[in-house]
């Protein structure tokens, strides 16, 4: 049956082109098929047809008798060329996808292969694992330190150095010594300026030592206390950058509007004994607040501005990466040194110029302080 089919095909082709039996057109090959041959071009037959050819040398010889070798070569070459083009086009598409995905990766950062979903910090569970003494010593932090800072500082709070600091403060309180600021205000900086809002960090030294002044933010004083001399010099320097600057009402010194706008007002030591400057220095606060600075640099990776006035503050920012963050240094605004360069430092305008360049117009700080105390809050 197979030989008859091949013979009939050869006969028909020979009859259609009697003068040129070896020059059969592709159209003739496609249009003149045996009914038993599938409706496909000759060189796209199913595998079953080609397997039959392996077992029939007679059909093999007839095929090559019907199809000249040069025609077979041309059609085979054309078929392979089409396959290669198809493969190349797929490879090109994959390459484009890869490049497109690469640009997205460069913006968001490459995913970590072994990254695990972040588990929300459970403060109550953390507290439940503390000893009774630790719960007692860390009650102030547990009750008043803002959650955004707490979860980053929790390990530092369990270090021997910090626990010793808290034992020292407890001993001072038990001895009926007055400590500033009032303990509920020690961490007010964290509540007015949560970690995710920090744009600027102003580094102070230790709290004011007189009544009704310190309330947990460097340079800031509670109303109705007038602005201290160092803060008055800050106002003067600011007015040179922004002549329209408006200080707090009634010559006050409340800086909570700055804190609410992203200016972290951080003292190096967070407590002091009444009337005794530096009385709580070298007790452990320096290490703790240095950790706060490190957290800012690591979490606020797009960059913040550090204002370091005076040599003690400048030592605190020595390890800050200046390729990511802006560090502005000057002498302290104290009347003893402000005339040596602070008054013309231009830090407030430089801060806003950098923030706008980095984040856009909405990122600049409104330095005005003409906000009623009852609105600003303490």
Active-site hit among 206, 241, 260, 321: 206
How does DSSP assign 6-43, residue by residue? HHHHHHHHHHH-SS-TT---HHHHHHS--TTS-SS-GG
CA neighbours closer than 13 Å in the CB half-sphere of residue 1 = 5
221: left (phi over 0), alpha (psi -120 to 50) or beta: beta
Rounded distance, CA 346 to CA 333, Å?
13
The tokens for 129 are 């694992």
How does DSSP assign 143-167, residue by residue? HHS-HHHHHHHHHHHTSHHHHHHHH
How does DSSP assign 289-315, residue by residue? HHHHHHHHHHH-TT--EEEEESHHHHH
Active site residue 88: no
Contact by Cβ (8 Å): 283, 165: yes
| The CA-based dihedral angle spanning residues 32, 34, 37, 42, taken in that order and rounded to the nearest 10 degrees | -30
Catalytically active residues are 206
């Amino acid at each position: 049956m197979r030989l008859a089919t091949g013979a009939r095909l050869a006969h028909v082709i020979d009859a259609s082109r009697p003068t040129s039996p070896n020059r059969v057109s592709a159209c003739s090959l496609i249009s003149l098929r045996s009914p038993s041959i599938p409706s496909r071009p000759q060189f796209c037959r199913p595998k079953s047809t080609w397997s039959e050819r392996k077992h029939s040398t007679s059909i093999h010889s007839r095929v090559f008798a019907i199809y000249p070798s040069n025609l077979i070569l041309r059609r085979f070459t054309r078929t392979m060329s089409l396959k290669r083009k198809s493969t190349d086009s797929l490879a090109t598409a994959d390459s484009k996808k890869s490049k497109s995905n690469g640009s997205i990766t460069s913006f968001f950062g490459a995913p970590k292969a072994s990254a695990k979903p972040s588990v929300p910090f459970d403060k109550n569970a953390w507290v439940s694992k503390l000893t009774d003494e630790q719960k007692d010593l860390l009650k102030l932090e547990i009750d008043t330190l803002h959650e955004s800072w707490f979860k980053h500082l929790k390990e530092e709070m369990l270090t021997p150095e910090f626990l010793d600091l808290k034992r020292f403060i407890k001993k001072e309180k038990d001895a009926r010594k007055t400590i500033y600021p009032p303990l509920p205000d020690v961490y007010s900086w964290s509540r007015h300026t949560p970690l995710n809002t920090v744009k600027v960090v102003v580094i102070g030294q230790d709290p004011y030592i007189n009544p009704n002044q310190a309330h947990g933010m460097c340079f800031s004083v509670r109303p109705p206390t007038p602005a201290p001399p160092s803060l008055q010099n800050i106002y003067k320097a600011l007015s040179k950058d922004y002549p329209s600057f408006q200080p707090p009402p009634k010559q006050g010194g409340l800086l909570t509007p700055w804190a609410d706008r992203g200016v972290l007002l951080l003292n190096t030591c967070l407590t002091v004994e009444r009337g005794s400057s530096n009385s709580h220095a070298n007790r452990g606060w320096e290490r703790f607040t240095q950790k706060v600075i490190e957290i800012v640099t690591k979490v606020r990776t797009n960059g913040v501005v550090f204002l370091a006035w005076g040599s003690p503050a400048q030592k605190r920012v020595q390890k800050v990466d200046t390729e990511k963050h802006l560090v502005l240094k000057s002498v302290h605004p104290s009347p003893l040194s402000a005339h040596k360069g602070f008054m013309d430092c231009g830090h407030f305008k430089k801060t806003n110029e950098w923030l706008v360049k980095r984040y856009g117009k909405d990122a600049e700080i409104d330095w005005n302080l003409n906000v009623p105390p009852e609105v600003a809050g303490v």
